[in-house]
Chain A
Amino acid sequence: GAGVSQSPSNKVTEKGKDVELRCDPISGHTALYWYRQRLGQGLEFLIYFQGNSAPDKSGLPSDRFSAERTGESVSTLTIQRTQQEDSAVYLCASSSGQALWEQYFGPGTRLTVT
């Protein structure tokens, strides 16, 4: 089946604008994760959705960041009033209820804030 998909693949925006990043997880995967990867650095956990439970938002760096998920499908990560330090690759991953630890990653969205 199809893997995790993300759109857009690249996004260039001006400082102060809002952006929305989209993630389509693997069908049937109940868990969905967002990560941020700054240039030359590891992955930084942002937020985690698991089924109908309240999401784990502990990794969101500021209140400019928010994310939603519709049921067990699409998720959007929204960054308001973007800053240059938000420039990074944003990765989405999903996993199934039977193997929560085996995360399947999408190709990422490269965000550049000018």
Chain B
Amino acid sequence: AQSVTQPDIHITVSEGASLELRCNYSYGATPYLFWYVQSPGQGLQLLLKYFSGDTLVQGIKGFEAEFKRSQSSFNLRKPSVHWSDAAEYFCAVGVSGGYNKLIFGAGTRLAVHP
């Protein structure tokens, strides 16, 4: 069955520090992979997506993610975190075949210290 694992429930970083959020997926075919961000009191916003091609994808707000097929991973990175990045981050895999739907991980809550 398809699944997404985000091993870190909470992460705290200092403002200006680098960030990496981990995501591992289980899916039999070539995955479509996504990162969404949910800021307090707001809906989910798509940060970036991977369908095919270059395994390093760039997204909004200075985020990037790298697809590593051998590790079944799609980790999210940012070189320098801003206080406004404090939010919950969700990794998702797109499942196709008749119906298209997203399978989400449980999320990683990011706190940013000044």
Contacts and interface: CB of A to CB of B under 8 A. Distances in A.
A41 B106 contact: yes
Contact of B100 (A4, A31, A43, A108): A31
Contacts of B46: 102-104
Contacts of A102: 46, 49
A43 B90 contact: yes
Interface residues of A, number: 26
B94 A101 contact: yes
A56 interface: yes
Contacts, number: 60
B43 interface: yes
B101 interface: yes
B34 interface: yes
Contact of A105 (B6, B44, B103, B106): B44
Interface of A: 3-4, 31, 33, 35, 41-45, 48, 50, 56, 58-59, 91, 93, 100-108
